Chain A
Amino acid sequence: MPPGIELRGLGLRYAGAEIFSGLTLTLPAAEFSVLLGPSGAGKTSLLRIIAGLELPDAGEVAATDNAPLAGRVSYMAQQDLLLPWASALKNVMLGARLRGEAEDPARAAALLEQVGLPHRASARPAELSGGERQRIALARTLYEDRPVILMDEPFSSLDAITRVRMQDLAARLLSGRTVLLITHDPFEACRLGHSFTILSGSPARLSPPTRLPGTPPRAPDEDGILHLQGELLRQLAAS
Chain B
Amino acid sequence: MIRPFITVAVFITAWWAITAFTSIPPFMLPAPAAVAQALYTQAPYLAANAGVTLGEILLGLVVGTLLGGVAALGIAASSTLQRWLWPILVLSQAIPVFTLAPLLVLWLGFGIGSKVAMAVLVIFFPVTANFLDGLRRTAPGWLDLGRTMNGSPWHILLHLRLPAALPAFASGLRVATAVAPIGAILGEWVGASSGLGYVMINANARIQTDLMFAALVILAAMTITLYVAVDALLRRLLTWAPGG
Q: Do A and B bind each other?
A: yes
Within 8 A of B (CB), among A11-62: 48, 51-53
**Contact call A95/B155, Cβ cutoff below 8 A:** no
Measured between beta carbons, the chain A residues less than 8 angstroms from B139 are 81
**Is A99 an interface residue, CB under 8 A from the partner?**
yes
B138-166 to A contact mask, C-beta < 8 Å, 1/0? 01011011111111101110011001101
Given known pairs A79-B141, A124-B240, the reply for A73 and B148 (CB within 8 Å) is yes
Within 8 A of B (CB), among A77-99: 77, 79, 81, 83-86, 94-95, 97-99
**Contact call A84/B241, Cβ cutoff below 8 A:** yes
Q: Which of A70, A74, A99 contacts B151 (CB 8 A)?
A: A99
Measured between beta carbons, the chain B residues less than 8 angstroms from A219 are none
A127-163 to B contact mask, C-beta < 8 Å, 1/0? 0000000000000000010000000000000000000
A58-78 to B contact mask, C-beta < 8 Å, 1/0? 000000000000110111010
Measured between beta carbons, the chain B residues less than 8 angstroms from A81 are 139, 141-142, 145
**Contact call A83/B241, Cβ cutoff below 8 A:** no
A174–B62 alpha-carbon span in the complex (Å) = 50
A interface size (C-beta, 8 A): 25
Which of chain B's residues has its CB closest to A75's CB? B148
Q: Which of B147, B155, B166, B241 contacts A97 (CB 8 A)?
A: B155
Measured between beta carbons, the chain A residues less than 8 angstroms from B241 are 84-85
A85–B139 alpha-carbon span in the complex (Å) = 14
Given known pairs A79-B141, A94-B159, the reply for A100 and B152 (CB within 8 Å) is yes
**Contact call B149/A94, Cβ cutoff below 8 A:** yes
**Contact call A98/B146, Cβ cutoff below 8 A:** yes
Given known pairs A85-B240, A98-B152, A126-B240, the reply for A75 and B145 (CB within 8 Å) is yes
**Contact call A99/B240, Cβ cutoff below 8 A:** no
A30 CB to closest chain B CB (Å) equals 20
**Contact call B240/A95, Cβ cutoff below 8 A:** no
B155 CB to closest chain A CB (Å) equals 5
Measured between beta carbons, the chain A residues less than 8 angstroms from B144 are 48, 51, 53, 75, 77
A51–B150 alpha-carbon span in the complex (Å) = 11
Question: What are 14 A-B pairs with beta-carbon distances under 8 A?
Answer: A51-B148, A70-B150, A79-B141, A81-B145, A83-B164, A84-B240, A85-B163, A85-B166, A86-B163, A95-B151, A98-B150, A98-B159, A98-B160, A100-B154
